[in-house]
Amino acid sequence: MEILRHVVVLVHLVGFAVLFGAWVVEAVNGKRRFTRVMDWGLAIAAVAGLILAAPWGIEYELNYVKLGVKLVILLAIGALLGIGRGRQRKTGSLPPAMFWAVGVLTLTNAAIAVIWR
Ligand code: HEM
């Protein structure tokens, strides 16, 4: 059970890496657009995160306040990606604030995961 949980944590981290990695590529190449790869990363992190939010394979209490905050931030990232991709399609451009918000919120969720115990 414990090993299986660690595998799900690994999948969760892959989701984070895909989302944040895809965002960094866009930030560095100067295009600053939302891509499908970001959607995939978020979906992987979300599914694995929700599985980890259940107390199995551990002997300590989960911090549900922390998990609730992470869930709200994840939903905000999802809303930004959804609205932003719609705007990109219709107008051909993405407001810079929306682009930067996704990177900052993704990093915030990782920071919360690591720092808030
Ligand atoms: C973009 C969204 C998210 C990012 C970037 C993210 C990032 C991370 C990172 C980097 C870790 C590893 C921390 C460590 O082991 O010290 C982690 C662990 C974890 N995350 Fe997330 N997370 C996200 C969303 C969520 C959501 C929505 C949930 C559930 C509501 C969740 C639940 C968990 C749990 C339970 C762990 C601990 C796993 C364990 O040690 O058993 N995450 N997350």
What's this model's pTM, rounded to 2 decimal places? 0.95
- Is 46:15 a contact under the CB 8 Å cutoff? yes
pLDDT of 12 over the 90 cut:
yes
* Ligand 1 lined by 23 (C-beta under 6 Å): no
* Ligand 1 lined by 53 (C-beta under 6 Å): yes
Instruction: Supply the pLDDT for residue 100.
Output: 98
CA of 92 to the centre of ligand 1 (A): 33
Instruction: Give pLDDT tens digits for 50-106.
Output: 999 999 999 999 999 999 999 999 999 999 999 999 999 999 999 999 999 999 999
How does the average pLDDT of the chain come out, rounded? 97
> How many domains is the chain partitioned into structurally?
1
CA of 109 to the centre of ligand 1 (A): 8
Instruction: Give pLDDT tens digits for 14-35.
Output: 999 999 999 999 999 999 999 9
Instruction: Supply the pLDDT for residue 117.
Output: 85
Domain of 65 in residue numbering reads as 2-115
